[in-house]
Amino acid sequence: MNMQVAERERLSMSSQHAGQPVTRNDSANHELSIRVRDLNLWYGQSQALKNINLDIFQKNVTALIGPSGCGKSTFLRCLNRMNDLIPGVRTEGLVEMDGRDVNAAKMDEVALRRRVGMVFQKPNPFPKSIFENVAYAPRMHDMVSRKAEQDELVEQALRDAGLWNEVKDKLQQPGTSLSGGQQQRLCIARAIAVKPDVILMDEPTSALDPISTATIEDLMDKLKKQFTIVTVTHNMQQAARVADYTAFFHLGEVIEYNDTRMMFSNPHTKKAEDYITGRYG
């Protein structure tokens, strides 16, 4: 029985094109943003990612799901090379963006991160004012030259993050004075103020209450008009609600990559089905 399952899974993997979702969402945009081929990653001796192939499409929300420890966050961090910060991490394979290998020696990871922003699991506003939290990066990147421009950019970013009405009267207060959900939206505003192409979100709502979670999910839906979003989530309902595409990770491998509706209604692999129906995870 187990043999048969494994065989079926292997067949279903090989039958699809490398990195392509099993089924495409016809209403979605299919311009390629990031192409991942044969990506392997080791923490010292133990391999955390095995032969990952994945295409991420522009202006879509791609959700990465799977049980804890399956490598989904590690994969996310490969996309803007945040794994470089962890000693002993080694990667092989191709992560391509804009026709360039992001792992190439010539690639400047600072430049990469400017185009691939990130929002973290726990809100991490800087110990600065709300205004400074948003204005800091654009100013450093020379995106604004005049004070008025800067004010305008901050306001726009906070509006896009759905936070403007709540904070417009207290821009000079410290970012840490906000509630958890507001802090997380501040971090999103901070990320979009840099005008990246891609925003990575690492379980952005796992530390938040249900109402803040709903606000952030709505926000993701709006933001995908401007940005490509890749989100890691522990919560399958969330993936079903917000994502156009969903990739199911298990033990460092992509078991299934599919249009979200197909994934949740008609998974092609037994493992994904078991996970989605709650048999493990």
Partner 1 sequence: MSQSFDDISAQLKRRHRKSSRLKWISMGALGLAGLFLVLFFADMLSKGLPAFQQAYIEVELDYNEDAQRMGRAALDPEVSRLVSRSFERLIPGMLRDDPGLIGTTEQRWVLADSEVDQYLKGHRSRLSEDERETVDELVESGRLELQFNTTFFTEGDSKMPERAGILAAAVGTVMTMLVTLAIAFPIGVMTAVYLEEFAPDNRFTQLIEININNLAAIPSILFGLLGLAIFINFFGVPRSSALVGGMTLALMTLPVIIIATRTALRSVPDSIRHAAFGVGCSRWQVVRDHVLPLATPGIMTGSIIGLAQAMGETAPLIIIGMVAFIPDVGASFTNASTVLPAQIFTWAGEPERAFVEKTAGGILVLLSILIALNAAAVVLRKKFERRW
Partner 2 sequence: MQTNQLLAIFSGVLLLLGLVAFFLGRAKAARVRASGSAMSAQPEQYAWFAVLATAGPAFAVSSVGAFIMLLLGADIPTFLLLAGSLVAAALGLMVGVSQVKPAFHARQAIEKVIQWILIAAALISIFTTFGILFSIIFEALRFFRMHSFWEFITGTVWNPGASFLAAAGRAEEGASAAQFGSVPLFAGTFMITAIAMLVAIPVGLLSAIYMSEFAPQRVRTLAKPTLEVLAGIPTVVYGFFAAITVAPIIVDVAGFFGLDSSFNNAVAPGVVMGVMIIPFISSLSDDVINSVPDSMRQGSLALGMTKGETIRDVVIPAALPGIISASLLAVSRALGETMIVVMAAGMRPNLTANPLEDMTTVTVRIVAALTGDLEFESAETLSAFALGLVLFIVTLSLNLVSVLMIRRFREKYRVNNL
Judged by DSSP in three states, 270 sits in: helix
Of 15 and 45, nearer to partner 2 (C-beta) is 45
Task: Confirm or reject binding of residue 185 to partner 2 (CB under 8 A).
Answer: no
Q: Which of 197, 253, 273, 274 is in the footprint of partner 1 by CB under 8 A?
A: 197
Cα–Cα distance measured from residue 13 to residue 16, given in angstroms and rounded to the nearest whole number: 6
Choose among 245, 198, 201, 192: nearest CA to 72. 201
Restricted to residues 41-100, the positions that interact with partner 1 (CB under 8 A) are 98, 100
Structure tokens at 158: 């906070």
Of 42 and 120, nearer to partner 2 (C-beta) is 120
Could you list the beta-strand ranges (E) of the chain: 32-43, 46-57, 61-65, 89-97, 100-101, 116-119, 198-202, 228-232, 245-250, 253-259
Task: Confirm or reject binding of residue 127 to partner 2 (CB under 8 A).
Answer: yes
Specify the pairing of strand 46-57 against strand 61-65: unpaired
Given partner 2, partner 1, none, residue 195, with its beta carbon under 5 to 8 Å by kind, binds partner 1
Site string for partner 1, 124-163 (x = CB under 8 A): ----------------xxx---------------------
Q: Which of 59, 128, 234, 261 is in the footprint of partner 2 by CB under 8 A?
A: 128
Task: Confirm or reject binding of residue 110 to partner 1 (CB under 8 A).
Answer: yes
Of 71 and 123, nearer to partner 2 (C-beta) is 123
Q: Which of 100, 141, 159, 222 is in the footprint of partner 2 by CB under 8 A?
A: 141
Cα–Cα distance measured from residue 214 to residue 166, given in angstroms and rounded to the nearest whole number: 17
Residue 113 parent element (H or E): helix 109-115
DSSP secondary structure, 11-50, as one string? HHHHHSPTT--SS--TTS---EEEEEEEEEEEETTEEEEE
Q: Which residues are near partner 2 by CB under 8 A?
A: 80, 82, 85, 87, 110-111, 113-115, 117-118, 120, 122, 124-128, 136-137, 140-141, 176, 187, 190-191, 194, 200
Question: Given the rule CB under 8 A, which residues bind partner 1?
Answer: 98, 100, 107-108, 110-112, 114-115, 140-142, 195-197
